[in-house]
Amino acid sequence: GMYVTRSGHSTITTTSGEVKVSGSGADSGHGMSAEFRGINTIESTAGSPLTVTITASADTAEKAIAMWAGSQYGGGVNRITGHSQAGGTGDSITLNANNGQGVAMQATNGGKNIITTGAGNDSVTINGAVRSLNPLAGSGPGNEIYLGGGKNTLTLNGAVEAGSLKVSSEGGTYTLVLQAPDAESFVARYGDWIT
């Protein structure tokens, strides 16, 4: 996948609009990994809808992390930024972590994972847990999803820890889809976050 550290900066810019990133390994697999003030960015050129699929896999589900930001020395930042047109086809962002059994977004020690979509009818699908470990005072949730104008859809398929995810849709609306195999799992995955 993408890995950056020590204030470095890695950027993928696409004009065709499609980016696929994968990271796998026996001990751990990260799609995007930013630590020690490093910054990873995936973006499209203005006016071009962005399609991003990040897949992480590992032998142990919790070691598969699609977007990981942070370190013991200070957080890094992973950004996915779309630029679609108002009223048109929007951005499509999908995070997969061990077929939904891993961690889709994890921020540690002030790290940030930020997904920002453009003005079209956007879709964001998160297959895996969302976590924020040891957030720095005043840093807010480590994982943020900003859906732009239009009719957007956010699908969550994994446990979301309380205080770990901020979602907003400025200038538009969004439908929130929460998936779970049964009612018990639904409460375990989303109860604290919704409260």
Kindly report, residue by residue over 60-109, the tens digit of the pLDDT.
Answer: 989 999 999 987 777 799 999 998 777 778 899 999 999 999 999 999 98
Cα–Cα distance measured from residue 98 to residue 53, given in angstroms and rounded to the nearest whole number:
13
| pLDDT value at residue 195 | 86
| pLDDT value at residue 154 | 98
CB 63 within 8 A of CB 27: yes
Positions of the chain with pLDDT lower than 50, given as ranges: none
- pTM for the model stands at 0.93
| pLDDT value at residue 137 | 61
